[in-house]
Structure 1
Amino acid sequence: MALLTHLLACVFGTGSWVAINGLWVELPLLVTVLPEQWDLPSYITIIIQMANVGPLFVTLMHRFRPGLLKEVAVIYVIVSTGVLACLLLAFLWSYTSPIAGVPHSTAFLVLTFFLSLVDCTSSVTFLPFMMQLQPQYLTTFFIGEGLSGLIPALIALGQGSGISRCVNDSRVVNITSGNETTEGSVFQMETRYLPANFSTLLFFLLMTVMMAACLVAFFFLSRQPKVWELSQQQLFPSSVILSSFDQVPEEGAGSGGRGGCPCPDTRQPGEAGPEKVSYSLAKLAFIYFLITWVSSLTNGVLPSVQSYSCLPYGNTAYHLSATLSSMANPLACIIAMFLPGRSLALLGALAVAGTAFGAYNMAIAVMSPCPLLQQSQWGDAVIVLSWVLFTGTLSYVKVMAGVILRSRSHSALVWYGAMEQLGSLLGAVLMFPLVNVYGFFQSADYCSLQCPA
């Protein structure tokens, strides 16, 4: 029975951010079809930030109308919404409609908002629910939350989405010379996209299955004796979120999504919990600055320009960057679990290193469509490696910052979440006009580029 509960907790955790993580790894294929093209990542980034109205609404309701929202009912609603949105996305993702005379993928963007609403709201509902189960199941839930990024990345790797090759296409054209018109052949390199191993329809259906599995797992978890007993009483009181944070320093805390991962419990079995650590105001300010800075880079600034930094090297480089960097996030969580580093000097150094990788990615995006080492395999390898190291190092910094604050107090973790969302919002708001309004970044067809040697 305990093993089954662990399995249910893991499957329940995979539904926390699987939909949005699935969108990110499918982008190499989507940008070749949808009218937004290379601007699509910036649209997704700003939509995710807009979806924070979900957790804000839940928090305000618990503050001003305690007891009105019932925990189990809220989770049923948001997970069911996620299942329906994924299912509709599978069939409607390619539909477009004109807005101000310009075609836009309205169905995709609207459904992306609902998926973001589901995943963002899960951050303030799934964890309080798990606090009603035995403590050992919380770690399993966090493992599932990490898999919500890993599984879609593995599926996208198997799909081979967005991979292309350049072909020499000859066309017959009329050439006028004086009074004579003759036919001639013109040779031009064109991009031919290789068919994916399976369609986007099937990919989103697989995401639907994962969301449905999350719903089924929650159904059985909510039937656990302790949870069922609580569900018959006044559910989701105003103190449930704060009381859950009170327990977090003992068991763990986390935040899902792109650029975030669960804060692991770094204790060995049977080891006593960490004592509360006292930090000076300057050190606390430094920790919160790191969280804000790292979140702005990983959740707002760099995701908006990933297409511009990778596509000049070809769709294969973009495909590998999107999928492998998504894998780097849960890998960083695992490393932090076994090799924790609480030194602020170490975290500062890693933040500088991650920022350097991000600066390289940004510089390549600015140089688009003719970046450094474009026609070299070294250029492909460096940009993929830079994205993986950027995501991995900064994810480790966020995890360890959460571990440090977890040993302080629950209010410190509340401020952790606030600074994380603030950084993400600032990054997205900064980049959206640069990408979509002022056209600061330029796109081009990889195969037909005429770049200086």
Structure 2
Amino acid sequence: MALLVHLLSCSFGLGSWVAVNGLWVELPLIVNQLPEGWDLPSYLTVIIQLANLGPLLATLMQKLCPGRLKERAVIYTILVTGVVACFLLAAFWAETTVVGGALHSTAFLIITFFLSLVDCTSSVTFLPFMMQLPPKYITTYFIGEGLSGFVPGLVALGQGVGVTKCANVTQPSDNETHMETQYLPPHFSPEVFFFFLAVMMVVSLTAFTLLTRVPRTFQLSTEDLACDPVASVSSGLDNLATEHPEKHKSHSEWTRSRSLLAKPRYSGYQFGFIYFLVVWVNGLTNGLLPSVQTYSCMPYGDVAYHLSAALSSMANPVAWTAFGAYNMAMAALSPCPLLQGTVAGQTLIVLSWVFFVGALSYVKVMVGVILRDEGHSALVWCGAAVQLGSMAGALTMFPLVNVYQLFQAGDTCSTRCPL
């Protein structure tokens, strides 16, 4: 039974961010097929931040109408929405319409919003549900959450980049020959990849359904429960303590546990620094840098962009945040960054993105470990800091990319840069 619950917990966590992570690693194959072009990542960062409406509404409903919003019903709803949205994405991702006199990939952007709504809301619903299980299964859940970025990246590597080649093409209008970039097909299409994401969401939905059927005597073993379930479980959308009071410790035991947790280990200044670090790190990883990844990588070719997108989602914490500055500098120099057209330049930009994401992911994990023992309130403020930093980064970069056009696109074959 324990092995089965570990497997189900991991599979359940896989559905937390697999859809949005899958969109990011698939961008190298679709950024040249959708009308937004290189600006598409900046649109995605803003859409993902708008999707924070989901957790905001869930939190408000719980505060204003406690008990009305059932945790399991919410999780079922968002998982089913994720499955449907992934199938719709596979069918309609390339559909475009004219909006404001310009062609836009409205279907892709609208479906992306719903996928982001699913993943953002999972942050405030999945973990409270998992905290009804013994603590060892929460660790397995986090492993599954990590795999939600690793698995799509691995599949994207197998998909291939749609290798480009430069060919001389004669234009009928002026009868002159121009160098043109031609894209070779990947090993399988984006439709197949999006269908794979739908399958992953089905796996997560199935795992959650089976987890809800775990025998209560096993699920609520008092000797395995976390020391502060009142502060965690009851702060979710269902108050398990009131539903099954016979399964919990006596009031005096909970009082002693809560008094031990009431004394913080960090000063106000230390908490302030930790939350500032969360805001800064998430501003970089979720807002500032993703908006310009195309500009920093595409001048080196599609292979460099594809590898940086796929491998960075699989990265381990092995480098410093200085790589972020290099990535931003190469985007600012687009379409003629340093070492363009060389193997060294391609290698450096890929490694820079992998190390950047890996290092800051490590920082986020360590902050989570620090705050986990400080109680539910500390984690709530951590979540607020994550969203604040992500939103600040996205809203900062969107006008710079799309309004002021500080970053310039180029073509791998036709762009001529000074030596």
Name 1:309's counterpart in structure 2.
296
State the 1:281 CA deviation. Answer: 2.6
| Cα deviation 1:354-376 (Å, max 9, x = unaligned) | 0x211111111111111111021
* Distance in 2 separating the partners of 1:274 and 1:361: 42
Amino acid of the structure 1 residue aligned with 2:53: V
State the 1:144 CA deviation. Answer: 0.8
* Distance in 2 separating the partners of 1:394 and 1:229: 34
- Return the match for 2:187 from 193, 197, 212: 197
* Distance in 1 separating the partners of 2:382 and 2:310: 27
**SS at 1:98 equivalent:** strand
Structure 2 unpaired stretches of 5+ = 221-229, 238-259
Q: Could you tell me whether the CA contact under 8 Å between 1:18 and 1:149 is conserved in 2?
A: yes
Q: Could you tell me whether the CA contact under 8 Å between 2:125 and 2:236 is conserved in 1?
A: no
Name 1:250's counterpart in structure 2.
none
Amino acid of the structure 2 residue aligned with 1:293: W
Q: Evaluate the alpha carbon distance shift between residue 107 and residue 280 of structure 1 in structure 2; reply closer, same or farther with a 3 A threshold.
A: same
**SS at 2:179 equivalent:** strand
* Distance in 2 separating the partners of 1:165 and 1:451: 18
Name 1:384's counterpart in structure 2.
350
Name 1:178's counterpart in structure 2.
none
Amino acid of the structure 2 residue aligned with 1:361: N
Please, which moves more after superposition, 211-220 or 130-139? Answer: 130-139
Corresponding position: 1:211 with 2:201? yes
Q: Could you tell me whether the CA contact under 8 Å between 1:51 and 1:113 is conserved in 2?
A: yes
Q: How many residues align?
A: 390
Name 1:375's counterpart in structure 2.
341
* Distance in 1 separating the partners of 2:232 and 2:371: 21
**SS at 2:380 equivalent:** helix
* Distance in 2 separating the partners of 1:133 and 1:283: 31
State the 1:192 CA deviation. Answer: 1.4
Q: Could you tell me whether the CA contact under 8 Å between 1:163 and 1:319 is conserved in 2?
A: no
State the 1:280 CA deviation. Answer: 2.8
State the 1:284 CA deviation. Answer: 2.1
Q: TM-score, normalised by structure 2?
A: 0.88
State the 1:242 CA deviation. Answer: 2.8
* Distance in 2 separating the partners of 1:446 and 1:172: 19
Give 1:8-407 correspondences, 5 Å limit. Answer: 8-167=8-167, 169-171=168-170, 186-226=176-216, 240=233, 242=235, 278-328=265-315, 331-332=316-317, 353-354=320-321, 356-407=322-373
Q: Could you tell me whether the CA contact under 8 Å between 1:38 and 1:307 is conserved in 2?
A: yes
**SS at 2:170 equivalent:** strand
Name 1:339's counterpart in structure 2.
none
Q: Could you tell me whether the CA contact under 8 Å between 1:313 and 1:379 is conserved in 2?
A: yes
Name 2:382's counterpart in structure 1.
416
State the 1:46 CA deviation. Answer: 0.3
Amino acid of the structure 2 residue aligned with 1:314: G
Q: Evaluate the alpha carbon distance shift between residue 153 and residue 159 of structure 1 in structure 2; reply closer, same or farther with a 3 A threshold.
A: same
Q: Could you tell me whether the CA contact under 8 Å between 1:369 and 1:443 is conserved in 2?
A: yes
* Distance in 2 separating the partners of 1:91 and 1:16: 22
Amino acid of the structure 1 residue aligned with 2:170: R
Q: TM-score, normalised by structure 1?
A: 0.81
State the 1:323 CA deviation. Answer: 0.5
Q: Could you tell me whether the CA contact under 8 Å between 2:134 and 2:219 is conserved in 1?
A: no
Q: Evaluate the alpha carbon distance shift between residue 376 and residue 156 of structure 1 in structure 2; reply closer, same or farther with a 3 A threshold.
A: same
| Cα deviation 1:315-338 (Å, max 9, x = unaligned) | 00000000010001xx33xx8xxx
| Cα deviation 1:45-86 (Å, max 9, x = unaligned) | 000000000000111111110000111111111000000000
* Distance in 2 separating the partners of 1:227 and 1:368: 60
Give 1:419-438 correspondences, 5 Å limit. Answer: 419-438=385-404
* Distance in 2 separating the partners of 1:172 and 1:114: 42
State the 1:162 CA deviation. Answer: 4.0
State the 1:432 CA deviation. Answer: 0.7
Q: Evaluate the alpha carbon distance shift between residue 172 and residue 383 of structure 1 in structure 2; reply closer, same or farther with a 3 A threshold.
A: closer
Q: Could you tell me whether the CA contact under 8 Å between 2:131 and 2:233 is conserved in 1?
A: no
Q: Could you tell me whether the CA contact under 8 Å between 2:12 and 2:205 is conserved in 1?
A: yes
Q: Evaluate the alpha carbon distance shift between residue 19 and residue 174 of structure 1 in structure 2; reply closer, same or farther with a 3 A threshold.
A: closer
Q: Percent identity?
A: 62
Q: Could you tell me whether the CA contact under 8 Å between 1:67 and 1:238 is conserved in 2?
A: no
Q: Evaluate the alpha carbon distance shift between residue 105 and residue 220 of structure 1 in structure 2; reply closer, same or farther with a 3 A threshold.
A: same
State the 1:38 CA deviation. Answer: 0.3
Q: Could you tell me whether the CA contact under 8 Å between 2:295 and 2:331 is conserved in 1?
A: yes
Q: Could you tell me whether the CA contact under 8 Å between 2:9 and 2:141 is conserved in 1?
A: yes
| Cα deviation 1:163-193 (Å, max 9, x = unaligned) | 32223x1427688xxxxxxxx7x44322111
**SS at 1:327 equivalent:** coil
**SS at 1:242 equivalent:** coil
Structure 1 unpaired stretches of 5+ = 176-183, 231-236, 245-272, 336-349
**SS at 2:313 equivalent:** helix
State the 1:135 CA deviation. Answer: 2.4
RMSD: 2.6
| Cα deviation 1:118-143 (Å, max 9, x = unaligned) | 00000111111112223222111111
State the 1:428 CA deviation. Answer: 0.5
**SS at 1:103 equivalent:** strand
